[in-house]
Amino acid sequence: MAPEMEATLQGVQMGLTAAAVSIAIKAALDLSAKLASEPLTRWLNALAAAANLLAPDIPWVLPLSLFVAGCLQASQGRFKAFWARVGLLADQEGPAKAPSAAVRDQPVTYLLAMLCLITWIALFAGLVFWQGLGPPWWADLFERFYRAGSLVWGGGPVVLPLLLPEVVPRFVSEVQFLQGFAFAQAMPGPMFNFAAYLGGVYQGPLGAIIAWFGLFLPGLLLIYAALPFWALATTHPGTQSFLKGVNAAASGLVIAAAFTLFDVVRTPPQRAITLLTFIIHNYFGPKNFGPKYNPPATIAIGALLGLPLCVPYVLTHPRP
């Protein structure tokens, strides 16, 4: 391949990865503004992000951050409820909402819910045990995506901090990870389809199926396991407070992922593209492209900006 053509392709790839980072940053800010709008939830958001940046390679830090944040938020809710009962604080939560008929009349029986829970636990424990024995590549791939799917809370960009340490650099490189994130943002469908790309890069079509199934399966099992109890849980004040804390911490994990991904954008032109695409995505995109087409338009603009900004850099800074 001619050097000019190779530099053009590399410049487009650099623009794609830079635009993907800008979308991750925007997603982190949007989630934090939505889920961490109170003083305590802002602290939980920041502390969860800091904890995962300090210990990115320790797997239990992430679930522990979510659990501790939920407990702290629930403790504040109980504190407010106590002072509201004694008449020293207004009850800001209001009465709990009754579950709707659509939620009460769900078709999942308690037996099916229990079977799904047992299946999820058995698979989780069995795969973790097998991982310690040195499994074949397909079991290793499935276990890592199954564990990420079991711990993710909220879907969408929240999956980034879970997948990043699991697949980079074992299955894909940092650049390939960001390129896949860019393609997932540009294409229709759920963010979890990102797993198929990662598995496909590692082991072709079979790897794509294993990774996709591994990420989706635990969520399906847990949804069916929790559905009979969800109406009661979401109308209980203590559970509502706990979930609010978990959501605040989960949005903090996306902030940590955005910081980590920004390390991949190392060259000056890429950082310029990240800034430009962030401005476009945040200020001009929602009005001109609409929420549906804003992410793919931002990715396309990043790829185009890679031509005038990154190609000259590649030609003047050849790789060793």
Please name the amino acid found at residue 54.
L
Structure tokens belonging to residue 245: 């804390």
Q: Where are the domains of the chain?
A: 1-96+236-268+302-320, 105-233
Structure tokens belonging to residue 235: 């109308």
154-165: burial string, b at 16+ Cβ within 10 Å, e else: eeebbbbbbbbb
Residue-level pLDDT at 199:
94
Task: Find all residues with CB under 8 Å of 100, minimum gap 6, and list them.
Answer: 231
Residue-level pLDDT at 213:
94
Instruction: Compute the distance between CA of residue 19 and CA of residue 179 in angstroms, rounded to an integer.
Output: 9
- Whether the CA torsion 18, 20, 24, 30 is positive or negative: it is positive
Residue-level pLDDT at 89:
44
Q: What is the pLDDT along the chain (320 residues), one digit of tens a residue?
A: 577 788 888 899 899 889 988 988 888 888 888 888 888 999 999 999 999 888 877 777 878 888 899 899 888 866 655 445 544 444 444 555 555 554 555 667 888 889 999 999 999 899 988 888 888 999 999 999 998 888 776 666 677 777 888 888 889 988 888 888 888 877 766 777 889 999 999 999 999 999 999 999 998 998 888 888 776 666 777 778 888 888 888 888 888 888 888 877 888 999 999 999 999 998 888 888 887 888 889 999 999 999 999 999 888 877 64
Residue-level pLDDT at 274:
93
